[in-house]
Amino acid sequence: MTNQNIKLAKFAGFCYGVKRAVETAKKLKQDNPDKNIYILGELIHNTDVINELEQLGIKTIYEVPAHGEGICIIRSHGESPEVFEKIKKAGFELVDLTCPDVKKVQQKAIELAQNDYFVVIVGKPNHPEVMAIKANADLYSDNVVVATSIQELEPYEEKIKAHKKVGVVVQTTQMVSSLNLVVNYLNTIAKEVLIHNTICQSTAMRQKEARELASESDLMVVVGSKKSANTTHLAEILKNCTKTIHIENDSELEKDIYINANNIGITAGASTPQVIIDKVINKIKGGI
């Protein structure tokens, strides 16, 4: 046992959107034991959870087949209208588990596009949530771009200057610093910049609390998949505050790193199950 002070953040682990998606998928199988249940794309970035769902008979697929039967779930990241159509056309019953916060971003981006704004989505172009937001807005405008840096926006500078009105939305788990960077640049080239800060409440609170915890810790441990955007953002933010390590699970935890820390703060991404967080805490407490 150690005398270290170990504090777990209150907002560590599953957010309500992820919880809702996992619980609803399980309930669907329970209520429809004879039906095929599919999820398009990994429901969350966690292999243990994907395997557990697989064992319950809930299969992850990565493409919509031409024909199929049973239920096909849209995960919390959302999908393009084209994919919704494909699923229905293939013959599946569609269950949409897009997080309500993600739906709000899609709606805001659509409104901006419909009202002739040049739309800037702050996020990574290959993030599934961003791709779905863009696909929704693309239906109403040819002026929709994705960026997290000034370099990515520079090629559009003349177009933006000519367009005058720019509208900004941001992927729900982005860092506010990326939003600020993009907005500051746009303010120098556009006449009007309308900003919708669509970072979700759960992400904002998780980041704020983690920063506070970091201010009183000499080591922060961030637990969660390295493929998860919200977890990697959390680690990036905390690295500027105190010594921080990002691990996927307790097997990556090296004693040398935490043994001399007096105050250890622990937080986790929105797709990290409680059981994985508990194992990390127990390992540190056991000093092994």
Q: Give the catalytic positions in this structure.
A: 129
What is the H or E stretch that residue 129 is in?
A: helix 128-138
Nearest distance in Å: CB 165, ligand SF4: 27
For residue 105, which of 178, 23, 228, 201 has the smallest C-alpha distance?
201
Which residue of 106, 230, 231, 244 would you call a contact of ligand SF4, by CB under 6 A? 230
- When binding is defined by CB under 6 A, the residue of 71, 102, 132, 190 that contacts ligand SF4 is 102
Q: Which residue, 141 or 230, has its beta carbon nearer to ligand SF4? A: 230
| Smallest separation, CB 230 to ligand SF4 (Å) | 6
Give whichever of 9 and 219 is closer to ligand SF4, judged by the CB atom: 9
106 is a site residue for ligand SF4 (CB under 6 A): no
205-224 footprint of ligand SF4 as x/- string (CB under 6 A): --------------------
CB-CB contact of 208 with 243 (8 Å): no
List of residues 6+ apart from 200 with CB closer than 8 A? 15, 17, 99, 101, 102, 172, 173
C-alpha closest to that of 163 among 133, 142, 140: 142
Say if CB 210 and CB 237 are below 8 A apart.
yes
Q: Tell the burial category of 70 from Cβ atoms under 10 Å away from its Cβ (0-12, 13-18, 19+).
A: middle
Stretch that binds ligand SF4, among 11-19, 177-185, 233-241, 256-264 (CB under 6 A): 11-19
The CA–CA distances, whole Å, from 255 to 44, 216, 261 equal 29, 21, 10
> At 40, is the secondary structure helix, strand, or coil?
strand
Question: E-strand spans in 9-54?
Answer: 37-40
Can residue 242 be called a binding residue for ligand SF4 (CB under 6 A)? no
The residue from 22, 64, 73, 270 that contacts ligand SF4 (CB under 6 A) is 270
Q: Rule CB under 6 A: is residue 15 a binding residue for ligand SF4?
A: yes
Per DSSP (E only), the strands in 155-240 are 165-170, 192-195, 219-223
Residues 126-145 that bind ligand SF4 (CB under 6 A): none
Q: Taking the complex as a whole, how short is the minimal distance between the CB of residue 201 and ligand SF4, in angstroms?
A: 7
Q: What are phi and psi of 96, to 5 degrees?
A: -95, 110
Q: What part of residues 70-89 is at the interface with ligand SF4 (CB under 6 A)?
A: 76
Residue 172 as a binder of ligand SF4 (CB under 6 A): the answer is yes
Q: Is 202 in the site for ligand SF4 (CB under 6 A)?
A: yes
> Binding ligand SF4 by CB under 6 A: which of 4, 7, 16, 29?
16
Secondary structure tally for the chain: helices H, strands E: 12, 12
Least distance (Å) from ligand SF4 to the CB of residue 31?
Answer: 23
Number of residues that bind ligand SF4 (CB under 6 A): 15
By CB under 6 A, name the one of 13, 40, 43, 101 that touches ligand SF4.
Answer: 101
Decide if 199 contacts 172 (C-beta within 8 A).
yes
Judged by beta carbon, residue 20 or residue 35, the one nearer ligand SF4 is 20
271 makes contact with ligand SF4 (CB under 6 A): no
DSSP 189-207: H-SEEEE-----HHHHHHH
Q: Which residues bind ligand SF4 (CB under 6 A)?
A: 15-18, 76, 99, 101-102, 172-173, 200, 202-203, 230, 270
